[in-house]
Structure 1
Amino acid sequence: MSDAVIGSHSEVLMHFDLKLEDGSAADSTRVNKKPAKLVMGDGSLTENFEACLLGLQQGDKKSFTLAPEDAFGHSKPENIHYMDRNRFSSDMDISEGMIMGFGQPNGQEIPGIIRSVAGDSVTVDFNHPLAGQTVIFDVEILEVSEPSA
């Protein structure tokens, strides 16, 4: 058992539960019993999530409540797009609430949530599914190590 404290480049193995204010689960590593491994500063977590972890050490359990601007941001109207139904495969069953991947010109794929289907118009929201939500971030630090130089 090390007494390493999480710093700006630490490797961290942790379990986390992400919940909404009403207590509903948004994400959890415990569901699949697979802890998350991350390297601080690698961009996989926002600065605000990382700031919550700084100074914690192995065995620590902590809960943080993050406002939308500190978590996934606010929903931005410019991330909501109206697309023609004919841009989707005709045999594709598109329904409200569905999350689909959309290819970008650079080859990357980004997820979009189908918000509505009305006639030939499909409304797709490219905001993060948790945008605009206050989230509760419960962490249990399993292991902290410094990357070998």
Structure 2
Amino acid sequence: MSDDVITGASEVLMHFDLKLEDGSAADSTRVNNKPAKLVMGDGSLTDNFERCLLGLKEGDKKSFTLAPEDAFGMPNPDNIYHLERSRFELEEGVQEGMIIGFSQPDGSELPGIIRSVAGDSVTVDFNHPLAGQTVIFDVEILAVRNSPTVH
């Protein structure tokens, strides 16, 4: 057991549960019992989520409630697109609620949620699925590793 507390440069092994205000689960590392490993500042968590972890140490359990603007932001109307149905080559057809990955010019994939299908028009929402939601971030710190400081 270490006395290391989480700093801006720590490597952290933790379990987390992300819930919505109504208690419904949005994400959890406990489902597959695979703790999340992250290096603070590597971009895998937003600054606001990282700030919640600062000062915690191994064995700590804590719950944080984050407003939409501190969690995944507010939905941006510019991230909603109307596309031609012909652009979707899915055998099962396009249905409301589906999440589809769209290839970006840089080779990455951007997930979009199908919000509606009307005639030849498909409305796709590229906002984060939790945009606009207040989230509860429950964490259990399993291990903290701080690199030795070089003098």
What is the aligned-residue identity percentage?
Answer: 76
In 2, Cα distance between the equivalents of 1:128 and 1:114?
13
Q: 1:65: which partner in 2?
A: 65
Q: How does 1:101-140 map to 2 (within 5 A)?
A: 101-140=101-140
Q: What is the Cα deviation at residue 93 of structure 1?
A: 1.7
Q: Which deviates more from structure 2 when the two are superposed, residues 23-32 or residues 88-97?
A: 88-97
In 2, Cα distance between the equivalents of 1:122 and 1:141?
43
Q: 1:35: which partner in 2?
A: 35
Q: What is the Cα deviation at residue 114 of structure 1?
A: 0.4
- The one-letter amino acid paired with 1:82 is H
Calculate the TM-score normalised by the size of structure 2: 0.96
| SS of structure 1 residue aligned to 2:102 | strand
Q: What is the Cα deviation at residue 107 of structure 1?
A: 1.2
Q: 1:5: which partner in 2?
A: 5
**Coordinate RMSD, CA, aligned:** 1.1
In 2, Cα distance between the equivalents of 1:120 and 1:134?
34
Q: 2:45: which partner in 1?
A: 45
- Tell me whether 1:15 sits opposite 2:15 in the alignment: yes
In 1, Cα distance between the equivalents of 2:90 and 2:137?
41
In 1, Cα distance between the equivalents of 2:147 and 2:96?
44
Q: 1:100: which partner in 2?
A: 100
| Structure 2 residue runs without a partner (length 5+) | none
Q: Which runs of 4+ in 1 moved over 6 A?
A: none
- Tell me whether 1:142 sits opposite 2:142 in the alignment: yes
Q: What is the Cα deviation at residue 105 of structure 1?
A: 1.3
- The one-letter amino acid paired with 1:18 is L
